[in-house]
Amino acid sequence: MNTTELTQLIETLDEGVLNILLDGKALLLVDDITLVNGDTNAPNVFVAPGQFSANDARQLRQELVDKAGQLLEDYYRVHPLTRHGFDAQAGLLVQQFGHAAFAAVEGHWPQRTLFVEQGTVIAEDQASPRHRYGVYCELPKSMDADAASSTLEKWLANGEAYEQYLGANVCRYNC
């Protein structure tokens, strides 16, 4: 999710949801795509009650919109993307750039690697200094395009891509 998407989501929130936040419930981020009210002790609290100075739903909505970028930065500093959120965004990038862009035989680098920046999966190309630290599908051997495409699809579908993302960021979220 990026700031524009979050802003649109906040602008469409029902006033009842905002009033519940004002009454002491938290606003939770579910699967990196939706905001709902929930318990303040939930692991995915996006906005805690009392975090803003608003007195009514209209004021709260405006404060949330005004601080959307900072909210995302703060949240994703300590929360990894969910598997659902990662898979959805990575799948779109694979569609955009093609399967071959994210797969390479062991010992070689692909055209692009996956990276997460403040809740958004991005495709780093080889010109990026952090390209080599990104996530990609390592093919066990050289294979034709169809087989490589199938291997990459399995890599995404069975959660290996997500596990690599978490593994590359384990210290970021757990240290």
pLDDT tens across 41-63, in order? 999 999 999 899 999 999 999 99
Distance in angstroms (rounded) separating the CA atoms of residues 26 and 40: 5
Looking at 78, 102, 128, which one is the last position of a domain? 78
Q: What is the tally of structural domains in the chain?
A: 2
DSSP 63: H
% of the chain with per-residue pLDDT over 70: 97
Q: In this structure, what is the dihedral angle of CA atoms 93, 99, 101, 106, given to the nearest 10 degrees?
A: 130
Domain match, 143 and 90 both? yes
Residue 139's domain comprises 83-174
For position 1, what pLDDT does the model report?
Answer: 83
- Give the CA distances from residue 12 to residues 28, 41, 52, 66, in Å, rounded to whole numbers and listed in that order: 15, 25, 19, 15
Looking at 51, 78, 105, which one is the last position of a domain? 78
Domain match, 11 and 71 both? yes
Domain match, 17 and 68 both? yes
Domain match, 161 and 95 both? yes
pLDDT tens, position by position, 97-118: 999 999 999 999 999 999 998 8
Instruction: Mean pLDDT check: name the lowest of 48-57, 83-92, 161-170.
Output: 161-170
- Give the CA distances from residue 86 to residues 19, 33, 67, in Å, rounded to whole numbers and listed in that order: 30, 11, 23
User: Tokens 């958004």 sit at which residue?
Assistant: 120
Domain match, 99 and 166 both? yes
